[in-house]
Amino acid sequence: MPQFSDRVERISISGIREVFEAAGEDAINLGLGQPDFPTPEHARQGAVDAIEAGKADAYTGNKGIPELREGIVDKHERDLGLDYDPEQVIATAGGSEALHIALEAHVGPGDEVIIPDPGFVAYDALTKLTGAEPVPVPVRDDLTIDPAAIEAAITEDTAAFVVNSPGNPTGAVSPAADVKEFARIAREHDLLCLSDEVYGRIVFEGDHRSPAEFAPEQTVVVDACSKTYSMTGWRLGWVAAAPERVERMLRVHQYVQACASAPAQYAAAAALSGPQDVVEEMVDTFEQRRDLVVDGLREIGLDVPTPEGAFYVMPEVPEGFVDECIARGVVIVPGEAFGDAGEGYARISYATSTEELEEALAIMEAAYEAVR
Ligand SMILES: Cc1ncc(COP(=O)(O)O)c(C=O)c1O
């Protein structure tokens, strides 16, 4: 019998996969966590040009190519008025690696990490892999992350808390007042605020705000091209933070990754510096679909807060609803896949065509009638 680490034995393959496997081949998949758009042409071309010029064959610097890191700095300045130096950025293999190196560099055995519940599945698993203890804190009834609940969960072992706006699986966007509170909590309690902003450009109402605006020293921003530019397959994300933190995260990144994939870095640099109207068009389309799905779910009789960003809705659902939908050929993800507080909810992704969404809503209505 092979020996495995205690840390790896504490995590398992995500429950979301099991849901996909349970569904038939012709099922309408509303379980997906990626936009259904092609990567912008100019981003693809950025990689093609670099490959053809022989620029993408070798390791890049550990932090990434300068033009990418400058593009990332410009993006944060443009979107949030943040003032990073390119040296404060590390390009990573997607937002996933960014979360990993941020946690590895900051927390370890004996530490506690406060995470949103329901929340993106990696927060719990990556915390456990560091040897630290995840402390899930339920979100509010409107599915936003509650700063007061985070503050109440702080103990002398707390090393970090994770915030995620717009949120997966909720689609909830934290209002500016809450974002300022996250920053205050990080400063006053001297904690790391790990701010996952991979959906930061996909906001329908109000503006995306970052705790880094108010607590730049305490915040590590995690972002990626994955969702913004429909580039999940390219695996390109980043961390941005204070120099001392970047130096520690670089130690981890250097040994687990060396550098992000060179072709992906050139594609990302082109995506970030090229025309942004593709993003606006995608966000407009998501907003129309959001309205369609929220109205449809309410007509069915389900309670659902209006999500203000990302491409997920999270209605409260009756017992048996998720299984009934899957049996009838619509894949949705049970809320408990994202934490105990997700029980009684389902995550529905609308990263699919209007026609499929309309068809799926009709099936969900029949499923609701069958289990109610
Ligand atoms: C909230 C959140 N953070 C991070 C990630 C990871 O993104 P990437 O594909 O860039 O690794 C995801 C992917 O679904 C996500 O939903």
Label residue 327 by pLDDT band (50, 70, 90).
Answer: very high
Distance, in Å, from the CA atom of 248 to the CA atom of 160, rounded to the nearest integer, reads: 15
Do 345 and 332 contact (CB within 8 A), yes or no?
no
> Comparing C-alpha atoms, which of 190, 185, 228 is closest to residue 208?
228
The answer to whether residue 1 scores a pLDDT higher than 90 is no
pTM, two decimals, is 0.97
112-117/237-240 β-pairing: unpaired
Could you identify the atom of ligand 1 that is nearest to the CA of residue 310? 16
Range of the domain at 288: 6-39+277-371
Average pLDDT over residues 12-28: 80
Q: In this predicted model, what pLDDT tens digit does every residue of 259-281 receive, in sequence order?
A: 999 999 999 999 999 999 999 99
Ligand 1 centroid distance, CA of 161 (Å)? 17
Are residues 256 and 283 located together in one domain of the fold? no
Mark which of 246, 273, 300 sits at the end of a domain. Answer: 273
Contacts of 158 (CB under 8 A, 6+ apart): 111, 112, 113, 114, 135, 189, 191
Question: Which residue puts its alpha carbon closest to atom 4 of ligand 1?
Answer: 95
Average pLDDT over residues 320-346: 97
Could you identify the atom of ligand 1 that is nearest to the CA of residue 224? 10
| Predicted local confidence at residue 24, as pLDDT | 76
| Predicted local confidence at residue 178, as pLDDT | 98
Could you identify the atom of ligand 1 that is nearest to the CA of residue 199? 1
Average pLDDT over residues 353-357: 97
Q: In this predicted model, what pLDDT tens digit does every residue of 194-238 receive, in sequence order?
A: 999 999 999 999 899 999 999 999 999 999 999 999 999 999 999
Beta bridge partners of 135: 114
Are residues 46 and 162 located together in one domain of the fold? yes
Label residue 16 by pLDDT band (50, 70, 90).
Answer: confident
Ligand 1 centroid distance, CA of 53 (Å)? 31
Q: In this predicted model, what pLDDT tens digit does every residue of 148-185 receive, in sequence order?
A: 999 999 999 999 999 999 999 999 999 999 999 999 99
Per the structure, the count of domains in the chain is 2
Are residues 207 and 260 located together in one domain of the fold? yes
Work out the mean pLDDT of the chain and round it to a whole number: 97
Which residue among 34, 72, 96, 197 is best mutated to probe the pocket of ligand 1, counting the most ligand atoms within 8 A of its Cβ? 96
Are residues 164 and 308 located together in one domain of the fold? no
Are residues 242 and 346 located together in one domain of the fold? no
Are residues 169 and 252 located together in one domain of the fold? yes
Could you identify the atom of ligand 1 that is nearest to the CA of residue 93? 11
Average pLDDT over residues 94-105: 98
| Predicted local confidence at residue 50, as pLDDT | 98
Label residue 314 by pLDDT band (50, 70, 90).
Answer: very high
Label residue 20 by pLDDT band (50, 70, 90).
Answer: confident
Mark which of 273, 297, 332 sits at the end of a domain. Answer: 273
Beta bridge partners of 331: 29
Question: Which residue puts its alpha carbon closest to atom 13 of ligand 1?
Answer: 33
| Predicted local confidence at residue 369, as pLDDT | 97
Pocket of ligand 1 (CB under 6 A): 33, 94-96, 120, 164, 168, 196, 198, 224, 226, 232, 237
What's 252's DSSP letter? Answer: H
Are residues 72 and 173 located together in one domain of the fold? yes
Distance, in Å, from the CA atom of 8 to the CA atom of 253, rounded to the nearest integer, reads: 20
Beta strand residue intervals within 236-345, DSSP E? 237-240, 312-313, 330-331, 333-334
Are residues 45 and 29 located together in one domain of the fold? no
| Predicted local confidence at residue 18, as pLDDT | 74
The answer to whether residue 317 scores a pLDDT higher than 80 is yes
